[in-house]
């Protein structure tokens, strides 16, 4: 049974273009991206007999072969989070070149919708610069193991001054400590059924909730209710009014917790039993 399951999983991943090779037309950045064929199959990817009703594979910790421990998530502000793995890998999301008093992160992810989500001049000491778009055209494709973290991406389109630009945003997924952590970037449209399947299960998701510059609020709420992640962390909100509107729209299915600061620690055994919105206050508001 286990052999048949792994064979079926390998077949599905080959069809979707995420098992051992990059999708057709994908641009590989050799200095920063390395496919690791020996890692066990992802426990975050969807196995879908029918993509609109994707089902998820939940391997045990022993099967997944990933370390136990807690992941620290700190909200710096806007759409930048600092993620620290149990093994000490530091990641900055939607990195625009600033890290304040923090040490230079080992990994940065970037998106190109606005200059507040990327930099053309990242610190040269950053070991892995993962762009959510392909500067040469086509699709950015990342599937890289860095210490105890696997980082991969699923591209989406953006509205570039009103003109759609294909594959210019990436949803980055961080597989660490048996958690599936997703950052939606500057999301401009609901994922397609195929994209939902490639994203897979998200235990923790950082979601832009401004309701205008990214996805409109009703659609974002629909997306998050479909993911039904155990933890949702709002980001990219520019006023308490926008944040409150988002919380009101989610309150029928999600609990709301005010963390009271910019950071939290997550692990498999700390996931809430009910889907919960964890509201973090940006570090720049709490470090005064």
**pLDDT tens digits for range 77-91:** 888 999 999 999 999
Q: What is the pTM of this model?
A: 0.78
Position 2 in a domain: no
In a domain, 153, yes or no: yes
Which CATH number goes with the domain that contains 117?
A: 3.60.15.10
**Beta bridge mates, 231:** 204, 276
Phi, psi of 105 (to 5 degrees): -70, 155
Tell me, yes or no, whether 174 lies in a domain. yes
Q: Is residue 8 part of a domain?
A: no
pLDDT in tens, 211-252: 777 789 999 999 999 999 999 999 977 788 889 999 999 999
Domain contains 118:
yes
Residue 10 belongs to some domain of the structure? no
What is the rounded average pLDDT for all residues in the chain?
79
| CA atoms of 176 and 77, how far apart (whole Å) | 22
Residue 20 lies in a domain: no
Please list, in sequence order, all residues whose beta carbon lies within 8 angstroms of the beta carbon of residue 36, skipping any fewer than 6 positions away.
143, 144, 145, 150
What ranges make up the beta strands (E) of the chain?
A: 26-27, 46-47, 55-56, 71-77, 80-84, 90-92, 107-110, 128-131, 139-140, 143-146, 149-160, 163-176, 179-183, 204-208, 231-235, 255-258, 263-266, 276-279
- Domain housing 94: 30-286
pLDDT at position 19 over 60: no
Residue 245 lies in a domain: yes
Q: For residues 31 and 162, which has the higher predicted lDDT (pLDDT)?
A: 162
Going by their DSSP bridges, the two strands 276-279 and 231-235 should be labelled as parallel
Tell me the pLDDT tens digit for each residue of 242-276.
899 999 999 999 999 999 999 999 999 999 999 99
Report pLDDT for 41: 63
Q: Count the domains in the chain.
A: 1
pLDDT of residue 282: 86
pLDDT band at 199 (very low <50, low <70, confident <90, very high): very high
Q: What pLDDT shows up at residue 37?
A: 44
Q: With pLDDT > 90 as the criterion, what percentage of the chain qualifies?
A: 50
Give CB contacts under 8 A, 24+ apart, made by 41-44: 41/6, 41/9, 41/10, 41/13, 42/13, 42/150, 42/152, 42/175, 42/200, 43/175, 43/178, 43/180, 43/201, 44/173, 44/175, 44/180, 44/200, 44/201, 44/202
Instruction: Give the percent of the chain with pLDDT over 70.
Output: 73
pLDDT in tens, 30-75: 444 444 445 566 778 864 434 444 444 444 333 333 346 899 999 9
The pLDDT of residue 287 is 47
Whether 164 shows a pLDDT value over 70: the answer reads yes
Is residue 172 within 8 Å of residue 185, measured between CB atoms? yes
Please write the tens of the pLDDT for every residue from 106-150: 999 988 866 666 577 788 999 999 998 898 888 999 999 999 999
């Amino acid at each position: 049974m286990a052999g048949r399951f792994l064979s079926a999983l390998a077949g599905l991943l080959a069809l979707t273009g995420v098992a051992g090779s990059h999708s057709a037309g994908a641009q590989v950045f050799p200095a920063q991206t390395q496919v690791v064929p020996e890692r066990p199959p992802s426990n975050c990817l969807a196995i879908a007999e029918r993509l609109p009703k994707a089902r998820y594979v939940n391997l045990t910790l022993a099967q997944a072969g990933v370390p136990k421990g807690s992941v620290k998530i700190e909200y710096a502000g806007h759409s930048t989070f600092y993620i620290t793995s149990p093994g000490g890998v530091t990641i900055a999301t939607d990195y625009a070149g600033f890290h304040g008093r923090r040490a230079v992160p080992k990994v940065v992810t970037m998106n190109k919708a606005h200059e507040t989500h990327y930099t053309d001049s990242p610190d040269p000491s950053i070991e892995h610069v993962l762009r959510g778009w392909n500067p040469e055209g086509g699709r950015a494709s990342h599937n890289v193991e860095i210490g105890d973290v696997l980082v991969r991406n699923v591209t989406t389109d953006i509205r570039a001054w009103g003109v759609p630009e294909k594959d210019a945003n990436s949803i980055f997924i961080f597989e660490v400590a048996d958690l599936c952590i997703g950052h939606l970037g500057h999301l401009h449209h609901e994922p397609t059924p195929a994209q939902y399947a490639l994203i897979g299960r998200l235990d923790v998701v950082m979601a832009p909730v401004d309701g205008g510059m990214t996805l409109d609020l009703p659609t974002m709420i629909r997306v998050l209710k479909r993911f039904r992640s155990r933890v949702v962390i709002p980001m990219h909100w520019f006023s308490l009014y926008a944040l409150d509107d988002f919380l009101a729209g989610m309150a029928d299915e999600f609990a709301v917790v005010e963390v009271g600061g910019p950071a939290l620690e997550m692990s498999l055994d700390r996931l809430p039993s009910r889907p919960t919105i964890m509201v973090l206050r940006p570090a720049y508001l709490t470090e005064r």
